[in-house]
Structure 1
Amino acid sequence: MKTKTAPKSVAAATATAPALPDSAPAAVSHKLKVLLVDDHPITRQGMKALVNQQPNLEVCGEADNAPYAIELVGKLQPDLAIVDIALKTTNGIELTKNIKVQAPNLPVLIVSMHDEGLYAERALRAGAMGYLMKQEAGEKIIAAIQRLLQGEIYLSDKIKEKMLHRFVNKKGDNMVFSIDTLSDREMEVFQLIGNGYSTRQIAQKLSLSSKTIDSYREHLKLKLNLESGADLVRHAIQWARNEGSM
């Protein structure tokens, strides 16, 4: 009796086993891909471990220099890039500009040891969507990553307060940054705003969500040193009149 029962249980287990491999890849396929760009292997190792602990994230590639990072952006098509400022061949600010040319919609998070007071605004003007100091706790790094993946900007409270104070105290066209600092996608949104398109209309035209367009509008205000949405619209309309419509 016992010798007959064992084969039946083994057969039953064997019959159900093939269902397991089919379900596992489905969970992995939903993970968002993160590209790490840092010339310190230990830093990359720690960041990789932190990212891979998240249920919706995985590190898809690593680079220690700008040329290889650009290659991986095209090859792996990550959902987000984490870039250090100090790299072997060029700095992370210039790399961010090049990434935004190749992949305008790719969110870039700058994570660096350099003082955010000196580099955060430069990173934003280059096209980054966030800036974070390396000494910040792991939960803040993950919070920044998740914020960028939702199309939002991430800056420390200290930097946001500094920017707001400057916007309030320093006004005038001489403080407006050059339109040339905008990424391809930001320029497209800026032109559409100048041509009278609403947020919903821009979202439909570019096949993006209204929330994403709102994030672009906030990013444009930061880059162009404009205090309000109304200022952004006026600036965009004036630019469109001078440069011509799309």
Structure 2
Amino acid sequence: MKTKVYVVDDHAMVRRGLAAMIGLEPDMEFIGEAADCAAATAELGKLRPNVVVVDISLRGNSGIELIKNIKVIDPAIRVVVLSVHDETTYALRALKAGAKAYVMKMDAGSKVIDAIRKVSKGQMYISEDVGSQMFNRLAQGQHEGDSPVAGLSDRELEVVNLIGAGYATREIAARLHMGIKTVETHRAHIKAKINLTSGTKLVQFCIRWVEESKRLSLAPAPMENILETMRVREA
């Protein structure tokens, strides 16, 4: 029986590339795709894939929230995270939320296929790059608490990213489907946890955080890796 795979990524080219790659595998079947959490949640209950490949950065709710939703829809569905984000902040959060694999988009496309195959058999998978980063942190005596956002909840981290991207409170409320007062509460909690004394300092921190996250995640375009893997397989 083929492993049924569903892909959630806000870049259409990435979805198409992954669909083409999965279609080349004799033991896999691509059954659908979505660009955001809401669309994916609506379909997953009907399609019941074996594996869902999820990007962390999605419109509306984040990939972390989608992973949690998937565990409610059907705990048997395995999740592979495919992300540009540095593992320091997101890998452990994704695994705690219920993901079984974490692959960086800078990795070759074949790593995604390996991850899908592993998790479909009930195993966990962490790409070499992610595993190496985790090992280096341990070797240097670093731990999760070293990150300034380590104490934030997943939702609070979403708010940090949206503030840093320039969204106002009302816009954040609309994107995350919550009330304005709830966003303001999150802002207050973030300031308290990171020891920020004003709204201005909060905005400055969020902007720096987003800029640093982008710098750390600079890598070859994911489609380049996917297409290169396809060329190798077809050669």
TM-score, scaled relative to structure 1: 0.54
Match of 2:95 among 124, 127, 132: 124
Match of 1:35 in 2: 6
User: Could you tell me which of 25, 44, 47 is aligned with 2:18?
Assistant: 47
Q: Classify 1:151/1:73 alpha carbon distance in 2 versus 1 (closer, same or farther; 3 Å).
A: same
Specify every segment of 5 or more residues in structure 2 that has no aligned partner in the other structure, as ranges. Answer: 146-153, 155-235
Shift of 1:109: 0.4
1:29-63 Cα deviation digits (max 9, x unpaired):
x3221011111111100010011110011110111
| Alpha-carbon distance in structure 2 between the residues aligned to 1:131 and 1:78 | 18
Scaled by the length of structure 2, the TM-score of the pair is 0.56
In structure 2, the residue matched to 1:147 is 118
User: Partner residue of 1:113?
Assistant: 84
Flag structure 1 segments of 5+ consecutive residues without an equivalent.
1-29, 175-180, 182-246
Instruction: Write the distance in 1 (CA, Å) between the matches of 2:34 and 2:140.
Output: 41
* Alpha-carbon distance in structure 2 between the residues aligned to 1:31 and 1:49: 16
Alignment of 1:214-233 (within 5 A): none
Output the CA distance in 2 between the equivalents of 1:128 and 1:161.
Answer: 19
3-state secondary structure, aligned to 1:114: coil
Which whole-Å CA distance do the structure 1 matches of 2:92 and 2:56 have between them? Answer: 13
| Partner-residue secondary structure (3-state), 1:136 | coil
Structure of larger gyration radius? 1
Q: Which residue of 2 aligns with 1:136?
A: 107
Query: 2 CA distance for matches of 1:103 and 1:112?
Result: 23
Change (3 A) 1:159 1:46: closer
How many matched pairs?
149
- AA at the equivalent of 1:142: I
Partner of 1:79: 50
Checking the alignment, whether the CA contact within 8 Å between 1:116 and 1:132 is kept in structure 2 is no
2:59 pairs with 1:59: no
Percent identity over the alignment?
43
Once superposed, which parts of structure 1, at least 4 consecutive aligned residues long, lie more than 4 Å away?
161-170
CA RMSD between the two structures: 2.9
